[in-house]
Each structure stands twice: as C-alpha cells, then as structure tokens.
Amino acid sequence: MDRDKHQPLNTREFVALWNETRDEHLGQRLTAALAALSRRGVLPPLSEAQSTVLAHAVQLAGDPSAGPHLALQYLETLGGGDPPADHAGA
C-alpha cells in the first residue's frame, strides 16, 4: 500500500484499502499486458481506465460467488445496454 494513505483504523478500512490497492495493481498489470498485445497487433490500444474495467470483470469472473455471467452482465451494463434477450436473467 502507498505510504501516503492513512493507516486503517479497523478491519473494514483495511479490506477497503487492500481492495483498492489490489484493483490498482491488477489494472496496471492488465494495462501493460494489453499494451504488449497492442504492439503485436493483436488488440487495439486500450486506456488504463478501460484496463481497470477489464480487471474488475476478470475478478468477478474468478469469484465463486459471482462468476463469468456476472462479469459479462457488469460489462454489458457499463456498455449502456441490457443483456441480450437470450441471456436475460442468466
């Protein structure tokens, strides 16, 4: 965790700081990986903000209490639309 952040006062604050730090780290790693794929012509360039969104979706997909369906729903919702009719409620 960054030294300029305050020390957590309780477990809830610690978990919030941990999650924030983890999300930031994963976003940076994903940004670097996507940049490498972009340089190779595999993907178009993505911003760090876009990479952070993808990192969160990957976390959701890997979470046993969420899973791939919730990750896709998250991305669809951010995209401004509803899930396709054949996937509604899935």
Q: How many domains does the chain have?
A: 1
**Looking at residue 85, what is its pLDDT?**
57
Does residue 74 contact residue 58 with C-beta atoms inside 8 Å?
no
In a domain, 42, yes or no: yes
CA distance linking residue 69 with residue 33, whole number of Å = 24
- Global pTM value: 0.57
90 domain-assigned = no
**Residue 6 domain-assigned (yes or no):** no
- Domain residues for the domain of 73 are 11-85
Structure confidence at residue 7 (pLDDT): 87
pLDDT tens column, 28-80:
887 788 889 989 999 888 887 887 788 889 888 888 889 999 999 999 999 88
Which DSSP string do the residues of 2-45 spell out, in sequence order?
-TTSPPPSSHHHHHHHHHHHHHHHHHHHHHHHHHHHHHTTSS--
Tens of pLDDT along 15-25? 989 888 887 88
The CA distance from 82 to 87, in Å, is 10
Domain contains 73: yes
